[in-house]
């Protein structure tokens, strides 16, 4: 399922600064779409696992955290993984290609 994450300029810049160079998450930011309807916003389209990875990077960006959580809730997905999920299952969800 593709999620749409809407970020204002300040949140997008904060997220951009938090993601380390060479990370695959940088590609998501390169593919983001700027919107200029009611102010300046950016839309990031990504899968659930990619959104959760961005959530890990966005620890110092409250606007990013709120936007990702809103996208997850809108899609009917849990904000946090269930406690019974093992670390192996979580790794598979975050890195489906491995």
pLDDT digits (tens, 9 = 90+) for 20-53: 988 889 988 999 998 887 778 999 999 999 999 9
Q: Which of 49-53, 60-64, 77-81, 92-96 has the lowest mean pLDDT?
A: 92-96
The whole-angstrom distance between residue 65's C-alpha and the CA centroid of its chain comes to 8
Angle at CA 78, nearest 5°, toward 53 and 76? 110
The pTM score is 0.77
pLDDT of 92 reads 54
Mean of the per-residue pLDDT values of the chain: 84
pLDDT of 96 reads 53
- Beta strand spans in 1-98 (E): 2-8, 33-35, 41-47
Output the six-digit token pair for 64: 């990013």
């Amino acid at each position: 399922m593709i999620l749409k994450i809407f970020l204002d300029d300040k949140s997008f810049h904060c997220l951009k600064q938090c993601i380390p160079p060479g990370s695959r998450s940088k590609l998501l930011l390169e593919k983001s779409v700027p919107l200029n309807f009611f102010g300046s916003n950016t839309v990031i389209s990504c899968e659930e696992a990619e959104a959760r990875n961005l959530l890990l990077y966005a620890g110092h960006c409250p606007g990013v955290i709120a936007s990702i959580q809103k996208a997850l809730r809108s899609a009917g997905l849990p904000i946090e993984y269930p406690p019974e999920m093992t670390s192996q299952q979580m790794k598979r969800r975050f890195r489906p290609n491995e």
